[in-house]
Amino acid sequence: MFQVVMLNDDYTPMEFVVVVIQEYFNKDLETATQIMLKIHLDGRGVCGVYTKDVAATKVDQVLEAARKAGHPLQCVAEPVE
């Protein structure tokens, strides 16, 4: 299994991160906000755990949404230890 991790940056608005987490990871507003705060405070946060193919697709979707919105948001998939 692979975890999808979003990385903090100093440019992407927190509101955009919350919307992306809600839209692509099916989280409610409260959960999405908690994940966003973890990303902001710890530099990274896990958005979900999926099979390798699904995780790769989620990463692509997040990076594409960020690119279209003009944000430098980064997202990676890592094997679950």
The helix/strand/coil state of 66 is helix
The domain spans of the chain are 2-79
Architecture of the CATH domain 2-79: 2-Layer Sandwich (3.30)
pLDDT at position 81 is: 83
Quickly list DSSP for 28-52: -HHHHHHHHHHHHHHSEEEEEEE-H
For residue 67, what pLDDT band results from cuts at 50, 70 and 90?
Answer: very high
- Average the pLDDT over 62-79 and give the result: 98
The count of other CB atoms within 10 Å of the CB of residue 18 is 19
71 touches 23 (CB < 8 A): no
Our measurement of the distance from residue 37's CA atom to the centroid of its chain's CA atoms, rounded to an integer in Å, reads 12
- Average the pLDDT over 50-64 and give the result: 98
Give this prediction's pTM.
0.94
pLDDT(70) > 90: yes
